[in-house]
Amino acid sequence: MKLLLDTHTFLWFIAGNPNLSSNARSLIEDVTNDKFVSPASLWEIAIKFSLGRLPLSAPFDVLIPEQMSINGFELLPMEIEHIAAVATLPHHHRDPFDRLLAAQSLVEQMPVVGIDTAFDAYGVNRLW
């Protein structure tokens, strides 16, 4: 199964945070699943880190590539059709990063692994 990790899910997984549900952890640890991270999530992390609102255990440019590699996460390319889908989404969610994740999930027909119930309003298949 292909999975798109929400920003919190990605961060909680790499940090071993207990807020990550056991089901989400199992889905991510299942080697038969293809796990994707959106550039929108990495951009959100970079912004929050640069503002001092998100501490990281290592510099962004070291931590993120390392975690992507050791966990077998793939970067989901941001395509024009993903961005175009954002333009047609209803405004259930004001967060531009989550709106792009919802659009990518819908276009790619890939469930989002995340706790944020705002994805549900878009008809996104959300696993938690």
**CATH number, domain with residue 36:** 3.40.50.1010
Q: Residue 101: which of 28, 24, 34, 3 has the closest Cα?
A: 3
Q: Are 126 and 119 in contact (CB under 8 A)?
A: yes
Residues 6+ apart with CB under 8 A from 116: 6, 8, 98, 126
Q: Per the structure, how many domains does the chain have?
A: 1
- The per-residue pLDDT for 91 is 86
- The per-residue pLDDT for 93 is 75
Region 17-33: mean pLDDT is 97
Compute the mean pLDDT over every residue in the chain, rounded to the nearest whole number.
96
Region 19-43: mean pLDDT is 97
42-96 pLDDT, tens digit each = 999 999 999 999 999 999 999 999 999 999 999 999 999 999 999 999 988 788 9
Q: How many degrees, rounded to 5, is the angle at CA 111 between CA 89 and CA 100? A: 35
Find the domain containing 89 and state its range.
2-127
- The per-residue pLDDT for 53 is 96
